[in-house]
Structure 1
Amino acid sequence: MMPFPMMGKSIPVEALLESGMDVATKKRMADVALNTAKSMGATYADARIGRYLNQYVFTREDKVQNVVNTESFGIGIRVIADGTWGFASTNNVNPEGIKKATEQAIAIAKANARIQKEPVKLAPVKGHGEVSWKTPIEKDFKDVPVSEKVDLLLKANAAAMENGANFVNSALFMVNEQKYFASTEGSYIDQDVHRIWPTFGVTAIDRSAGKFKSRQALSAPMGMGYEYMNGLASEKVEGPAGITLYRNSYDIVEDATLAAKQAKEMLSAKSVEPGKYDLVLEPNHLGLTIHESVGHPLELDRVLGYEANYAGTSFATLDKWKSGDFQYGSKIVNLVADKTQPGSLGAVGYDDEGVKCKKWDLVRNGILVNYQAIRDQVHMIDQKESHGCCYSQSWNDVQFQRMPNVSLEPGTEKYSARDMIKDVEKGIYIAGRGSYSIDQQRYNFQFGGTVFYEIKNGEIAGMLNDVAYQSNTQEFWNSCTKICDENDYRLFGSFFDGKGQPSQVSAVSHGSSTTRFNGVNVINTGRNV
């Protein structure tokens, strides 16, 4: 995870509503880059014209802390010359500025070619012509007055304070990526991408005991418009222990109210006894575990060692995949990558090198079957088609392989979270994400959570504190014994996931239903060792 990037220059809020450069002009500007690159000997070139709009609203208790509106606009040009990549960018989106940036990209490629050992090999992609894609939103955040957003956050803060919180902060993160991609292969792709993330943290204090407890929001960042904030009852799932869980609509006031009550309850909850437990993990929690123990280790560039200096390598090495029988998880574990999943953060029509997005298997019936790879990588795993998971955080950064949505398929039999609780004799129900630690090979790990409840003889027996579980990736996923059906399926999201040098952030979702893992080691994080 990365700090929140405030990308672009500050602009007046009304500037968010300006239409920006029209598609016909974008095509003309992109063609300047493509034609210049070809005239200088490039065998391939692509141009990305991007307008990135951000609005972030921050509050605390009864005060507005900040409202941030930013815009970033420019063009990035990527070329292959002498068998080598070159990249340059400019915010001078006019023929003169674009020609100069393209010449720079060519010069960089030719300089790099002197030390390039093997020429770049691109998987073929058929040109798409002029096409467009847009996040299917009902309400654009830019059309909603800032005052309405502030009022909603302050209402949530007030609800938390009225129900026992001593401190509360809340925030709304809203992003609109207006991206235009063109390549020498004949693609001209216009995309309009929207994302939203409402979140908060509440803290309750027991001054006499000198203790405090905090509870974070159970919201998930989504690839949706402002309609996500509607709080529709039809999109709520009533989970164990009276927890309301949210799917495609979020009620921040309701969640803040419950959060304050739970934070107070934590102050007197008992501390967990270390030992082996059956864990019942709800999707907002399990999504982070999927992200770290499946999403990252199955990125091909990490597997090949390209990320070793920054974020490590992967235990899921090529020999395990080539064997065809590496048991990543139990037979009911099916993990898929999907850039088309509706409502997800990673959903787009085409990736940032013009590949139409799709869904593919990573783990099928527990067996490792594939990785995540882009056009210049797939030949390394004897495949001929990019997976369509290339992304750049802005026009100013080169695109590279990024994690798509990676999700656990739901169970096929009708089975609810309440049914699962009834089937557990000694266990812990964990909701929401918390602190975590995982090694550089994404193998040995420790995960906490937001709220924890003890399960005894098929019933919730009360709240717990100081819970974290330890395992390794293969042992953990092989302990998976039951998955709830699709009615329980929900998304977790990471709004600012970091990777690369220079570092970039991306947004990605992970879906699952409530899932049980048997015999997992639980430690007490509140005791001195």
Structure 2
Amino acid sequence: MDRRSFVKVTGLGMGALMLPISGRLIAAEALTEKLDIALKRSLADAALAAAKTAGASYCDVRIGRYLNQFVVTREDKVQNVVNTESTGVGIRVIANGTWGFAASNDLTATSIARAAQQAVAIAKANSRLTRTPVELAPVKGVGEVSWATPIKKNAMEVPIKEKVDLLLSVNAAAMNAGASFVNSILFLVNEQKYFASTDGSYIDQDVHRIWAPLNITAVDKESGKFRNRSGLSAPMGMGYEYLDPKPEGRIAMPGGLVGYSTSYDMIEDAKLGAEQAKEKLKAKSVKPGKYDLVLDPHHLWLTIHENVGHPTELDRVLGYEANYAGTSFATLDKWKSKDFKYGAEIVNLFADKTQPHSLGAVGYDDEGVKTKRWDIVKDGILVNYQAIRDQAHILGEKESHGCCYADSWNSVQFQRMANISLAPGKEKLTPDEMISQVEDGIYIVGAGSFSIDQQRYNAQFGGQLFYEIKNGKITEMLEDVAYQIRTPEFWASCAAICDERDYRLGGSFFDGKGQPSQISAVSHGSSTARFNGINVINTARNLG
């Protein structure tokens, strides 16, 4: 399903959203089925043997069953329920020092062996144009292992009626609280992935993700003016238990706001969202100028994603993404200097593919590399990038970071963004205490529209909710707020970060990259942080 079809069936204008909704339509009951592990092992062995016989020096095989379900509602109506499955095998080889790839959806040993032979033939053909052979960082085979997202309740096993009832209850709560329109959706993903390689690994993984976005609109019937408020949920690497509200998953925020960590009260958020959308209709328009910004994790995740996550992808730094997504200001010379200041000394940004509940959490990446945590910015200094097996040698490293990913069995795996997060502050500090230290500032909650240049250096960010801070107190809601930054200057202005008690994940369920484009899911965590002296513009005035 392409984006245009999705927008048509959902009735939602969701920007340039790219969806992993592909494959054949299936009954909901089929979403709980699995491929036999013995079958996957035998198919993998057939591919590995055929590739080696054809002349491959290396081969990896990915057998994938990719499942999606989304449930779409608007006000008191169900707009769509879709279940899809895509199953097949992707085979990647090195022959004559060059990559080759082929895939098949025919799960027979004969077809898989033929695909492996085709991958080798492609590699040999490509080698005629290759100047530098592929240099792979070593990986020790792990034999037969398995990993699964630690879920408590498989969302695919929950009856559709239960999901529909929840979403319609959410919509009713928003309408009863004064909303004029409301959409609510459930996105559910299950990736059943089997990886085998000539290194001696046979890795079976079962990955689950969930997202429950909603969008609320309040309309002033007299003026025709309207305002929106999107939900404050985070997409998570969890099961359906994420939608079971628990006190420990609820975080009290300044100004009577509510945040969510490991569980999400969708009905509560819908009620608050409707009230806040109405409040936005009467909010004061911001006066442009320099302000100290207090940024909540529900907002800051997107800033981290755009001006830390993307510019530290090594393929972007090297120019491999220049034609499609741009390059990076964080060039190798800055890293080699060992003193490039990405931010203030309190700023520590790290990558972590093992972080519990995160979208990018897996046991092993799509090259069979065991995942880990590593530093990107340490005490404000750029210290590393995100690299995979054939990039590690460029950094002088002995092993991959374990951040290789493909969004389907028929896609070639390549370097994708790991979970990139801002480490919590080391000193005890709550958001209320942080706000009490601000004389003239703005508190921003929720992600909004943004614009950023091709090198991820100059950017502008909006948000969902904006509150004026005067003399250490939140006074009133503001509207038409956006802030402009240059990436290193912005992180250099970071003056305080709340401690780990406030740490929460946000993230992107559909992050696009590559040609042909692939999507991935990635989380970004932080605690509330303060940035001093940031330029704020009035978006209504800028629009004339």
TM-score range, shorter chain: over 0.9
Match of 1:228 among 234, 237, 242: 242
Number of the residue aligned with 2:333: 319
| Cα offset, 1:5, TM superposition | 3.2
Number of the residue aligned with 2:318: 304
Match of 1:434 among 445, 448, 452: 448
| Cα offset, 1:382, TM superposition | 1.1
Question: 1-side partners of 2:373 and 2:156: how far apart?
Answer: 31
- Where 1:203 maps in the other structure, the secondary structure is strand
Number of the residue aligned with 1:8: 23
Check if 1:503 corresponds to 2:517. yes
| Cα offset, 1:3, TM superposition | 2.3
Question: 1-side partners of 2:30 and 2:535: how far apart?
Answer: 53
Number of the residue aligned with 1:283: 297
What residue ranges of structure 2 are gaps of 5+ in the alignment? 1-15
Question: 1-side partners of 2:50 and 2:291: how far apart?
Answer: 63
Question: Are the counterparts in 2 of residues 426 and 456 from structure 1 also a CA contact under 8 Å?
Answer: yes
Number of the residue aligned with 1:186: 200
Amino acid at match of 2:492: N
Listed one character per residue, the Cα deviations across residues 188-226 of structure 1 (whole Å, up to 9, x for unaligned) are 000000000001000000121120000000000000000
Question: Are the counterparts in 1 of residues 311 and 455 from structure 2 also a CA contact under 8 Å?
Answer: yes
Identity %: 69
- Where 1:388 maps in the other structure, the secondary structure is coil
After alignment, is 449-458 or 4-13 more displaced? 4-13
Check if 1:203 corresponds to 2:206. no
Superposed, 1:108-507 pairs within 5 Å as 108-507=122-521
| Cα offset, 1:131, TM superposition | 0.3
Question: 1-side partners of 2:248 and 2:361: how far apart?
Answer: 23
Question: Are the counterparts in 2 of residues 467 and 522 from structure 1 also a CA contact under 8 Å?
Answer: yes
Number of the residue aligned with 1:17: 32
Question: 1-side partners of 2:409 and 2:185: how far apart?
Answer: 26
Question: Are the counterparts in 1 of residues 18 and 519 from structure 2 also a CA contact under 8 Å?
Answer: no
- Where 2:211 maps in the other structure, the secondary structure is strand
Question: Are the counterparts in 1 of residues 295 and 445 from structure 2 also a CA contact under 8 Å?
Answer: yes
Number of the residue aligned with 1:90: 104
| Cα offset, 1:4, TM superposition | 2.3
Question: Are the counterparts in 1 of residues 298 and 447 from structure 2 also a CA contact under 8 Å?
Answer: yes
- Where 2:175 maps in the other structure, the secondary structure is helix
Listed one character per residue, the Cα deviations across residues 289-328 of structure 1 (whole Å, up to 9, x for unaligned) are 0000000000000000000000000000000000000000
Question: Are the counterparts in 2 of residues 125 and 185 from structure 1 also a CA contact under 8 Å?
Answer: yes
- Where 2:213 maps in the other structure, the secondary structure is strand
| Cα offset, 1:506, TM superposition | 0.2
| Cα offset, 1:17, TM superposition | 2.1
Question: Are the counterparts in 1 of residues 430 and 502 from structure 2 also a CA contact under 8 Å?
Answer: yes
| Cα offset, 1:24, TM superposition | 1.4
Question: 2-side partners of 1:115 and 1:225: how far apart?
Answer: 47
Amino acid at match of 1:73: T
Question: Are the counterparts in 2 of residues 238 and 244 from structure 1 also a CA contact under 8 Å?
Answer: yes
- Where 1:305 maps in the other structure, the secondary structure is coil
| Cα offset, 1:107, TM superposition | 1.0
Question: 1-side partners of 2:139 and 2:384: how far apart?
Answer: 20
Question: 2-side partners of 1:295 and 1:457: how far apart?
Answer: 34
Listed one character per residue, the Cα deviations across residues 96-115 of structure 1 (whole Å, up to 9, x for unaligned) are 11011111111110110010
Tell me the TM-score normalised to structure 1 length: 0.99
Question: 2-side partners of 1:286 and 1:7: how far apart?
Answer: 31
What residue ranges of structure 1 are gaps of 5+ in the alignment? none
| Cα offset, 1:7, TM superposition | 1.6
Listed one character per residue, the Cα deviations across residues 40-94 of structure 1 (whole Å, up to 9, x for unaligned) are 1100000000001111000000000000100010000000001000000000011
Listed one character per residue, the Cα deviations across residues 229-270 of structure 1 (whole Å, up to 9, x for unaligned) are 001122111101211100000000000000000000000100
| Cα offset, 1:464, TM superposition | 0.3
Amino acid at match of 2:173: A
Question: Are the counterparts in 1 of residues 418 and 522 from structure 2 also a CA contact under 8 Å?
Answer: yes
Amino acid at match of 1:339: K
| Cα offset, 1:227, TM superposition | 0.1
| Cα offset, 1:284, TM superposition | 1.1
| Cα offset, 1:143, TM superposition | 1.4
- Where 1:526 maps in the other structure, the secondary structure is helix
- Where 1:475 maps in the other structure, the secondary structure is helix
Runs of 4+ residues over 6 Å off in structure 1: none
| Cα offset, 1:37, TM superposition | 0.4
| Cα offset, 1:22, TM superposition | 1.2
Listed one character per residue, the Cα deviations across residues 461-517 of structure 1 (whole Å, up to 9, x for unaligned) are 100000000010000000000000000000001000000000000000000000000
Question: 2-side partners of 1:63 and 1:97: how far apart?
Answer: 45
Listed one character per residue, the Cα deviations across residues 328-354 of structure 1 (whole Å, up to 9, x for unaligned) are 000000000000000000000000000
After alignment, is 473-482 or 8-17 more displaced? 8-17
Check if 1:58 corresponds to 2:86. no
RMSD: 0.7
